[in-house]
Amino acid sequence: MLILVANLGSTSFKYRLFRMEEHGGEVIAKGAYERVTDYAAVIDEALATLQRDGIIRRADEIDAVGFKTVLGKDLSGCVFADQTVIDALEGFTAVAPAHNPPYAAGIRQFGKSLPTARLVALFETAFYQWTSAASATYAVPARWRDIGIRRYGFHGASHKFIAERSAELCGREDVARVARRLYLDGPQPVAGSPFRVVSCHLGGSSSVTGIRNGMAIGSSMGFSPQSGVPQNNRVGDLDSGAIPYAMHTLGISLDEAARQLTKESGLLGLSGISNDIRDVYTAAAAGHPEARLALDTLVHSIRHWAGAFHFELGGLEALVFTAGIGENGVAIRAAVCQHLESFGIHLDAGRNAACWATEAVISTADSPVKIIVIPANEELVLAREVFRKLS
């Protein structure tokens, strides 16, 4: 089955074309366009390039297009990308202004350019569809809840992949099977002992998710991808009382406060140096105190959320690191795991130091909790879900 995964940014269009089969898949072509003003033109250009390069003979050989949509009003899951999806995306443009309009435009355009292909949207919130009402609810008045203000959770594609892969690596094929079929069958009971995971997706944006028997119980990201762990230039968790106080005291508008919290906060705001953790590390090593504080604050927040889910899960079988910082950040992983031996979390310093961007168990051989690094590949995750839905 040929599946094109479309990654639509506010001014970019990237794609990967996968050939998917029952037991895996491979990328057979990819492309990227920057400074996009007309999605119709670049999508048609990409389809023409695939034919010119001999990858496909006709555009209708592409069976499906997958979209990693972020957040839809009143809609989530892995669903066919029809007008309902476009309406859901446009209903929440105010919450995800950089993400929702390009996906709505892209889905419309693919519907015209590839009328025979099935269009599938996988919402980043999909993995959290079955979290409890208590964990999804903010204590706000009913009229706020009525307009959709609740905890959604994000990075769902990445964390669901961790749910599957961690179960496979820990010999829990029963849980892996439930996790793989989650969007088809919903959560299913698992016989025997529970399989509990804390998944740390640490990258340009970061989130920590608790997973029981293949299903998320909650995430550090709540109503928007703005919350939770400090991000590259986004604030993460912030007391709601700070916003009116900063507006009054600094004399800034609501729009300006929102801009500063999304563009000038996080690692960049704390360090004053960079939104890339590698630069922050270099500065911290050279004795820069704000850079040190940025790293310590990030680690503190990851531990805070990991600890919350560990407690809620009532135990832990695996602690997983994924995405750019999770896969490469030897020192961050060491700091997150420090002094947790009484919880059964024993990091092997040598294995940790030797693990760069590769799948590996980095706990000691006798650690009750397995600590695992699993590389993220969100396009492949998306292609797999589309394949499962259509198979």
> Which of residues 119 and 266 has its CB atom nearest to ligand ADP in the complex?
266
Q: In what order do the strands lie in the sheet with 318-322?
A: 215-219, 207-212, 196-201, 318-322, 370-373, 360-361
* Site residues, ligand ADP (CB under 6 A): 203-205, 232, 276-278, 323-325, 328-329
Least separation in angstroms between CB 279 and ligand ADP: 8
Structure-token pair, residue 204: 């340009």
24 strand-pairing partners: 21
Other CB atoms within 10 A of residue 307 CB? 14
Structure-token pair, residue 106: 């892209």
Least separation in angstroms between CB 385 and ligand ADP: 18
> Which of residues 176 and 291 has its CB atom nearest to ligand ADP in the complex?
291
What is the Cα gyration radius of the chain?
A: 21
Least separation in angstroms between CB 283 and ligand ADP: 13
> Which of residues 85 and 347 has its CB atom nearest to ligand ADP in the complex?
347
Q: State how far the Cα of 38 lies from the Cα of 45, in Å rounded to an integer.
A: 11
> Which of residues 78 and 332 has its CB atom nearest to ligand ADP in the complex?
332
Residue nearest ligand ADP, Cβ-based: 324
Helix, strand or coil, per DSSP, at residue 46: helix
Structure-token pair, residue 369: 């909790």
> Which of residues 209 and 328 has its CB atom nearest to ligand ADP in the complex?
328
> Which of residues 215 and 291 has its CB atom nearest to ligand ADP in the complex?
291
Least separation in angstroms between CB 325 and ligand ADP: 5
> Which of residues 325 and 345 has its CB atom nearest to ligand ADP in the complex?
325
Least separation in angstroms between CB 358 and ligand ADP: 12
- In this structure, what is the dihedral angle of CA atoms 25, 30, 35, 37, given to the nearest 10 degrees? -80
Least separation in angstroms between CB 250 and ligand ADP: 28
Q: State how far the Cα of 109 lies from the Cα of 15, in Å rounded to an integer.
A: 14
Strands 24-33 and 13-21: antiparallel
Least separation in angstroms between CB 229 and ligand ADP: 12
Q: State how far the Cα of 50 lies from the Cα of 56, in Å rounded to an integer.
A: 6
- In this structure, what is the dihedral angle of CA atoms 34, 207, 25, 165, given to the nearest 10 degrees? 170
